[in-house]
Amino acid sequence: MSGLPSSRSILDHFSALRDHREQWRVLYPLREVLLLVLCATLSGMEDFVEIRLWGQHRLDFLRRFLPFAHGIPAHDTLNDVINGLDPELFKTCFATWVEALRDEAPDIIAIDGKTSRRSHARSKGRAPLHMVSAWASRQRLVLGQEAVDAKSNEITAIPLLLEGTVMISVCGLAVEH
């Protein structure tokens, strides 16, 4: 890496993603949905309802980058569009973007497991979601995540996480767990 910041915009890193929707029915272009979801998520929003509200309050900011001619999509639309994307390709695009942000100095990667709040549905027999994450402490970024069946299975997810998080193995980052 040259040490200079990348001249690519955040959306350029996600340009490989394809919109699964019928184009003649699209009111909210994929680039607008991605910009909204990425910015809101980076601002701490955790679900599509929060993302929509964040976008409504910051529409002028978002319009500095893209038109948002039809405003902010409904939370159901955001959910449908994001869930229609190829998750592995999204993960690759995200990793490429994060790599472009990284400077050359090594970082400490923390590996930790968490249970997502309110992710269970007892009435439907669905247990809470358990995730193991790789966290770049200096950049304050999640580099990768792997879901596990139960909190006790975190140790089995770590090799999968390290295997899938290209930045850890390729960029010479120190791993602490």
Residue-by-residue DSSP string for the chain: --SSPP-S-TGGGGTT----S-GGG-SS-HHHHHHHHHHHHHTT--SHHHHHHHHHHTHHHHTTTS--TT-SPPHHHHHHHHHTS-HHHHHHHHHHHHHHH--SS--EEEEEEEE-TT--BGGGTBPPPEEEEEEETTTTEEEEEEEESSGGGHHHHHHHHHHH-HHHHHTT-EEE-
Whether residues 15 and 92 share a domain: the answer is yes
Q: Provide the residue range defining the domain that includes 81.
A: 11-99
Q: Are residues 51 and 120 in the same domain?
A: no
Q: Is the pLDDT of residue 54 over 50?
A: yes
pLDDT of residue 148: 81
Indicate if 123 and 169 belong to the same structural domain: yes
Number of domains composing the chain = 2
Considering the domain architecture, whether residues 76 and 123 belong to the same structural domain is answered as: no
Regarding whether 23 and 83 lie in a shared domain, the answer is yes
Q: What is the pLDDT of residue 90?
A: 93
User: In the prediction, which pLDDT does 117 show?
Assistant: 74
Do 118 and 152 belong together in one domain? yes
Residue 51 and residue 126 share a domain: no
With a threshold of 0.85, does the pTM exceed it?
no
pLDDT band at 168 (very low <50, low <70, confident <90, very high): very low
pLDDT at 166 over 70: no
What was the pLDDT predicted at 108? 79
Same domain, 83 and 143: no
* Statement to judge: residues 76 and 119 lie in one domain: no
Q: What does the pLDDT look like over 112-144, one tens digit per residue?
A: 888 877 776 677 777 788 888 888 777 777 777
Same domain for 142 and 79, yes or no, is no
115 and 67 in a common domain: no
Domain presence at residue 6: no
Asked if residue 4 is part of any domain, the answer here is no
| Residue 102 predicted with pLDDT over 50 | yes
Same domain, 47 and 81: yes
pLDDT of 94 above 70: yes
